[in-house]
Amino acid sequence: MDCKPLTFFLFLFFISLTESTIYPSNEVNLLDSKASQGELGWISSPSHGWEEISGVDEHYTPIRTFQVCNIMEYSQNNWLRTNWIPRKSAQKIYVELKFTLRDCNSIPLVLGTCKETFNLHYLETDEDQGAKFREHQFSKIDTIAADESFTQSDLGDRILKLNTEVREVGPITKKGFYLAFQDVGACVALVSVRVYFKKCPFMVKNLAMFPDTVPMDSQSLVEVRGSCVNNSKEEEPPKMYCSTEGEWLVPIGKCLCNIGYEEREVSCQACRPGFYKASSGNLACSKCPPHSYAHQEGSVHCDCEKNYFRAEGDPASMACTRPPSAPGNVISVINETSVILDWSWPADTGGRKDVTFNVVCKRCWPGPRQCEPCRGAVRFLPRASGLTNTTVTVADLLAHTNYTFEIEAQNGVSSLAPALRQFAAVTITTNQAAPSQVTVIRKDRTSRNSISLSWLEPERPNGIILDYEVKYYEKQEQETSYTILRSKGTNVTLSGLKPDTTYLLQIRARTAAGYGSSSRKFEFETSPDSFSISSENSQVVLIAISSAVAIILLTVLLYVVIGRFCGSSKSKHPDEKRLHFGNGHLRLPGIRTYVDPHTYEDPSQAVHEFAKELDASCIAIDKVVGAGEFGEVCSGRLRLPSKKEICVAIKTLKTGYTEKQRRDFLSEASIMGQFDHPNIIRLEGVVTRSKPVMIVTEYMENGSLDSFLRKHDAQFTVIQLVGMLRGIASGMKYLSDMGYVHRDLAARNILVNSNLVCKVSDFGLSRVLEDDPEAAYTTRGGKIPIRWTAPEAIAYRKFTSASDVWSYGIVLWEVMSYGERPYWEMSNQDVIKAVDEGYRLPPPMDCPAALYQLMLDCWQKDRNNRPKFEQIVSILDKLIRNPSSLKITANTTSRPANLLLDRNSTDITSFRTMGDWLESVRTLPCKEAFSGVSYSSCDTLAKTSAEDFKKIGVTIVGPQKKVVSSIKALETHTKDGPVPV
Ligand code: ACK
């Protein structure tokens, strides 16, 4: 029977069953029969055995198959040998056979011996042996049986079952090999033969590249080191194992993308512009944070925009930041020598949270850049720098001193941008403050009846210490009765004490600002009374006592004689004034001192201590006479129960006042209420318990002295004027004795009553700063009535009774010139400059030389050389008693006399007579009158430029004109006779 039709069928069915020819990536084909387009050219032996048949698959791709079906004959041994297959790098090969096999039972009338298997053989050789084929050289790999065979009915159903068998062969050591298929009587169609070996294919794992790797033939794995992809680096050496099955196993270690690169599709790619990557790792690149940029690819960081910075330690992911703006709204609350500074958070923190504040303290003087860092023990609470809160307390400043505080907000980038740093500044002037405590007291000597003590000045005197108050009492008396001593020095002897007694003692210092707090109580004991006389030494003791008595008597006698001889009525300790108090009350009258209401914790307590509370129903307001800083000033009447009605001036506090305004307003009463003198305006009382709050004083019919004099120009006799001046000096003496420094003594602050009695007025703590329209801000920030103020008070706020004396000299000038404005229209700056250079106001017209001399004495640069008020009073008294002394005038020409006098070249004190004075002035060359500007004649002075006038401190047009006109007058009068100065 011809078997061709059968093979035909086999083939027909076969093609429809062809599988896809996509192989796993880890399989490398050495032979694939399906891939062959033409004849395979395998050797078939015998030639009528295996037969090569061509066909097409479902895609019409030609394929080659071999089949054999010699089942009708006995003893079949048909061989089919492949071509030589190079081994390449294979160690173990795989043979995949696809075939169909006919079920012997399904074939009717089989004549031979039908088989359902065939054999697979191989032969290794180093070279192709061509057509030479010898069966015995081949080694059998296996007998191949079909898993699925087909029957005739399958053919009818057109279903053929394709078998796939795979056999491993190895290790192969020679360069190539052959495969051979031995048929021993089966009906088989070899549809495809594929020979391949396995490998672990190239792979990128964890950014490491692993090359193609052929596994070992044995069971062992091949360890393969990976290499990092471009732009990455090993974090841990990357490795993998290649299994015999061509699979990568157990990846270990990894590579990380370099900084500036991110992992993208198993490679490391540069960050795009606008992105950065600061650390290696497999993170993605990040977008540049605010206020930064990265123009380049592969950026490892973003640069900050202009004026933005990154502090050390700022992460690259943080926005660039800038220094904060200045703190705002600085508020200072001054309490004597401490100040609480408070400010608000800067409007712009620069984008950071680490904002802190630094406070710099500078002590300032007038003039440009006249500040220097605060030295000494200025204390900042909690500290000066690194403040996290918006407040600081600065303590232990000097009293009456100008300070500037610079508050800078800082953040982490401030140090990188010094040019952008900003600060807020506040200038303050400390108040006067009482001295600090006396802390060190030493016992120098003790006897039965006395103790000598000395002590150290308080650490912070806060001014000139006027005296010390020493208070002592017997310990057992429990302070019900005590004695007070005053001492100008820092030592004292307590005498008249009881022997063998314990005393307690406290000391406190006093300045113009009042008393400081008392020292702690020190305990001292007098020596015991050891003079008990025994019988055997009574004689010795008697002699000793008689000698002692004799010595004492002699001493007393000497003291009296010397005292008489010197004509001195002074006590042994002129500085000490002793007051005795019993049950806490004043026993003997002594010197009272002014108490600064500020030293009271509660200022309203001070008002009620020094001022009487009046019932508003006792006051009748008549009319408004003027306006003050706090409200209207009215005239009216006060009728107290069982007292005569009197005229009063009533100062009111306008409604809507703040607590501070109320305090400041009433502080005037607290001060005025402490004074009792005919030349000090008398306080009648205050109304604080009903509104409006009022201060009631005696009524002064003629109002303030300056306007009164202007109203009555040239209407008084010199004696009348001197009488007024004497009153003012007397009032001022009283104030200075009380330890009160007025600071704003000026004719406008003197009131005149109907009897022409002048009284000093205008007290109060803030008045000098706020109330006086004449007060001007100095460069140091304080407000000072420049024209009336002594240079040292302007320059460094040294306000003392001596500076009040300077002001008194100006009042003297105002009085003698009938209310002329001191220094006319010169600017404050020019006044300061001129006075500093030694120029002084000239004598007013018709001013008695003695009074002008007194003015000049009051205007001595060295305040120690100025007369005391006590001396002024006595000089004026002498002038009043001797009116002829007032006849010598300092000039005789008409007013105004506008030239300032140079004290260096014109000494008025040398003019004993009017003739002297006139002669001196007549011969005084202009260049001497104007030191610093050289003039050959008064002619040229009249033509002098403004620039030259500046040199002598005259800068504004008004005074310059006046000066020039006076110079012209000077020329004229020099020729004619009388000379204005
Ligand atoms: O120059 P005068 O009339 O006098 O205008 C002012 C005004 O009030 C504002 O201070 C006047 N004045 C102040 N105190 C008194 C007083 N005790 N007696 C009379 N007038 C006074 C001052």
Tell which residue, 483, 481, 476, 478, has the closest CA to residue 451.
Answer: 483
Listed range (302-311, 588-597, 748-757, 807-816) with the worst mean pLDDT: 588-597
Atom in ligand 1 nearest the alpha carbon of residue 697:
17
- Give percent of the chain with pLDDT exceeding 90: 46
Q: Rounded to whole angstroms, what are the CA distances from 585 to 387, 494, 495?
A: 50, 20, 21
Any ligand 1 atom below 6 A from CB of 628? yes
Any ligand 1 atom below 6 A from CB of 704? yes
Atom in ligand 1 nearest the alpha carbon of residue 633:
8
Structure tokens of 507? 């000391």
Label residue 266 left, alpha or beta by phi (over 0 means left) and psi (-120 to 50 means alpha): left
DSSP letters spanning 192-229: EEEEEEE-BPPEEETTEEE--BPPPSSSPPEEEE-EEP
Looking at the predicted structure, is the pLDDT value of residue 924 above 60?
A: no
Mark whether 92 and 136 lie in a shared domain: yes
Mean pLDDT of 948-960: 33
Q: Chain centroid to CA 262: how far? A: 42
Looking at the predicted structure, is the pLDDT value of residue 937 above 90?
A: no
Mark whether 734 and 878 lie in a shared domain: yes
Is position 146 within any domain?
yes
Any ligand 1 atom below 6 A from CB of 751? yes
Q: Which residues pair with 252 in a beta bridge?
A: 239
Listed range (699-708, 712-721, 758-767, 918-927) with the worst mean pLDDT: 918-927
Is position 924 within any domain?
no
Please check if 457 is assigned to a binding site: no
Mark whether 631 and 485 lie in a shared domain: no
* pLDDT tens digit sequence for 268-289: 999 999 999 998 887 899 999 9
Please check if 413 is assigned to a binding site: no
Output the residue whose Cα is nearest ligand 1's atom 4.
703
Is position 291 within any domain?
no
Tell which residue, 650, 665, 659, has the closest CA to residue 616.
Answer: 650
Expressed in angstroms and rounded, the spacing between residue 701 Cα and the centre of ligand 1 is 8
Separation between Cα atoms, residue 574 and residue 572, nearest integer Å: 6
- Give percent of the chain with pLDDT exceeding 70: 77
Any ligand 1 atom below 6 A from CB of 430? no
Q: Are 836 and 877 in contact (CB under 8 A)?
A: no
Separation between Cα atoms, residue 925 and residue 922, nearest integer Å: 8
Looking at the predicted structure, is the pLDDT value of residue 84 above 80?
A: yes
- Single out the residue in 235, 257, 279 at which a domain terminates: 257
Provide the pLDDT for residue 590.
42
Provide the pLDDT for residue 900.
60
Looking at the predicted structure, is the pLDDT value of residue 57 above 70?
A: no
CA dihedral 780, 785, 786, 789 (to 10 degrees): -100
Any ligand 1 atom below 6 A from CB of 703? yes
CA dihedral 117, 118, 122, 128 (to 10 degrees): -160
Provide the pLDDT for residue 1.
37
Listed range (43-57, 247-261, 362-376) with the worst mean pLDDT: 362-376
Provide Rg for the chain, Cα atoms: 60
Looking at the predicted structure, is the pLDDT value of residue 925 above 90?
A: no
Please check if 632 is assigned to a binding site: yes
Is residue 95 helix, strand or coil? strand
Looking at the predicted structure, is the pLDDT value of residue 888 above 70?
A: yes
Mark whether 718 and 672 lie in a shared domain: no
Mark whether 750 and 870 lie in a shared domain: yes
* pLDDT tens digit sequence for 461-487: 877 788 899 999 988 877 777 888 889
User: Which of the two residues, 71 and 602, has the higher pLDDT score?
Assistant: 71
Tell which residue, 631, 671, 661, has the closest CA to residue 649.
Answer: 631
Q: How far apart are the first and last CA of the chain?
A: 166
Separation between Cα atoms, residue 870 and residue 331, nearest integer Å: 43
Expressed in angstroms and rounded, the spacing between residue 752 Cα and the centre of ligand 1 is 9
Q: Are 824 and 898 in contact (CB under 8 A)?
A: yes
Provide the pLDDT for residue 163.
87
Separation between Cα atoms, residue 900 and residue 839, nearest integer Å: 6
User: Which of the two residues, 147 and 130, has the higher pLDDT score?
Assistant: 130
**Band (581; pLDDT cuts 50, 70, 90):** very low
* pLDDT tens digit sequence for 486-535: 898 899 999 889 898 999 999 999 887 778 888 888 888 888 865 333 33
Provide the pLDDT for residue 382.
93
Is position 841 within any domain?
yes
Is position 840 within any domain?
yes
Any ligand 1 atom below 6 A from CB of 649? yes
Output the residue whose Cα is nearest ligand 1's atom 19.
700
Output the residue whose Cα is nearest ligand 1's atom 20.
703
**Band (741; pLDDT cuts 50, 70, 90):** very high
Q: Are 303 and 266 in contact (CB under 8 A)?
A: no
Any ligand 1 atom below 6 A from CB of 699? yes
Atom in ligand 1 nearest the alpha carbon of residue 681:
17
Looking at the predicted structure, is the pLDDT value of residue 240 above 60?
A: yes
Domain that holds residue 177: 27-198
Which segments of 405-525 does DSSP mark as H helices, in order?
A: none
Mark whether 478 and 505 lie in a shared domain: yes
Mark whether 249 and 380 lie in a shared domain: no
Any ligand 1 atom below 6 A from CB of 622? no
> What CATH number does residue 450 fall under?
2.60.40.10
> What CATH number does residue 117 fall under?
2.60.120.260
Looking at the predicted structure, is the pLDDT value of residue 66 above 60?
A: yes
Expressed in angstroms and rounded, the spacing between residue 747 Cα and the centre of ligand 1 is 12
Provide the pLDDT for residue 772.
59
Domain count within the chain: 6
Identify how many contiguous H helices and E strands the chain contains and give both numbers: 18, 53
Please check if 28 is assigned to a binding site: no
Average pLDDT, the chain: 79
Mark whether 797 and 864 lie in a shared domain: yes
Atom in ligand 1 nearest the alpha carbon of residue 698:
17
* pLDDT tens digit sequence for 149-199: 666 555 555 456 788 999 999 889 999 999 999 999 998 999 889 999 999
Mark whether 637 and 666 lie in a shared domain: yes
Mean pLDDT of 365-383: 82
Mean pLDDT of 376-382: 86
Of 622, 624, 633, which is best to mutate to test ligand 1, by the most ligand atoms within 8 angstroms of its C-beta? 633
Provide the pLDDT for residue 948.
39
Looking at the predicted structure, is the pLDDT value of residue 926 above 60?
A: no
**Band (577; pLDDT cuts 50, 70, 90):** very low
* pLDDT tens digit sequence for 547-575: 555 555 555 555 444 433 333 333 333 33
Highest mean pLDDT among 419-433, 610-624, 937-951: 610-624
Mark whether 414 and 501 lie in a shared domain: no
Atom in ligand 1 nearest the alpha carbon of residue 699:
18
Q: Which amino acid is at 521?
A: K
**Band (579; pLDDT cuts 50, 70, 90):** very low
Mark whether 717 and 839 lie in a shared domain: yes
Atom in ligand 1 nearest the alpha carbon of residue 748:
1
Any ligand 1 atom below 6 A from CB of 856? no
Q: Which residues pair with 649 in a beta bridge?
A: 635, 697
CA dihedral 485, 487, 492, 496 (to 10 degrees): -30
> What CATH number does residue 770 fall under?
1.10.510.10
Please check if 601 is assigned to a binding site: no
Of 700, 756, 774, which is best to mutate to test ligand 1, by the most ligand atoms within 8 angstroms of its C-beta? 700
- Single out the residue in 639, 665, 698 at which a domain terminates: 698
- Residues marked active site are found at 744
Is residue 752 helix, strand or coil? strand
Is position 968 within any domain?
no
Is position 552 within any domain?
no
Output the residue whose Cα is nearest ligand 1's atom 8.
626
Looking at the predicted structure, is the pLDDT value of residue 390 above 90?
A: yes
Any ligand 1 atom below 6 A from CB of 626? yes
**Band (392; pLDDT cuts 50, 70, 90):** very high
Expressed in angstroms and rounded, the spacing between residue 590 Cα and the centre of ligand 1 is 33
**Band (850; pLDDT cuts 50, 70, 90):** very high
Listed range (366-370, 449-453, 789-793, 797-801) with the worst mean pLDDT: 366-370
Any ligand 1 atom below 6 A from CB of 625? yes
Any ligand 1 atom below 6 A from CB of 707? yes
- Single out the residue in 663, 698, 733 at which a domain terminates: 698
**Band (420; pLDDT cuts 50, 70, 90):** confident
Expressed in angstroms and rounded, the spacing between residue 762 Cα and the centre of ligand 1 is 10
Q: Are 401 and 364 in contact (CB under 8 A)?
A: no
Expressed in angstroms and rounded, the spacing between residue 700 Cα and the centre of ligand 1 is 7
Atom in ligand 1 nearest the alpha carbon of residue 761:
14
Expressed in angstroms and rounded, the spacing between residue 614 Cα and the centre of ligand 1 is 20
Expressed in angstroms and rounded, the spacing between residue 703 Cα and the centre of ligand 1 is 5
Mark whether 43 and 111 lie in a shared domain: yes
- Sheet of strand 232-242, all strands in order from the earlier edge strand to the far edge: 222-225, 232-242, 248-257
Is residue 883 helix, strand or coil? helix
Any ligand 1 atom below 6 A from CB of 700? yes
- 3-state DSSP helix/strand/coil percent for the chain, to nearest 5? 25, 30, 45
Separation between Cα atoms, residue 5 and residue 67, nearest integer Å: 12
Please check if 651 is assigned to a binding site: yes
Provide the pLDDT for residue 199.
92
Separation between Cα atoms, residue 658 and residue 54, nearest integer Å: 118
**Band (375; pLDDT cuts 50, 70, 90):** confident
Q: Chain centroid to CA 512: how far? A: 36
Please check if 628 is assigned to a binding site: yes
> What CATH number does residue 242 fall under?
2.60.40.1770
Expressed in angstroms and rounded, the spacing between residue 841 Cα and the centre of ligand 1 is 28
- H or E element, residue 444: strand 441-446
Atom in ligand 1 nearest the alpha carbon of residue 625:
8
Is position 978 within any domain?
no
Separation between Cα atoms, residue 253 and residue 224, nearest integer Å: 12
Expressed in angstroms and rounded, the spacing between residue 559 Cα and the centre of ligand 1 is 54
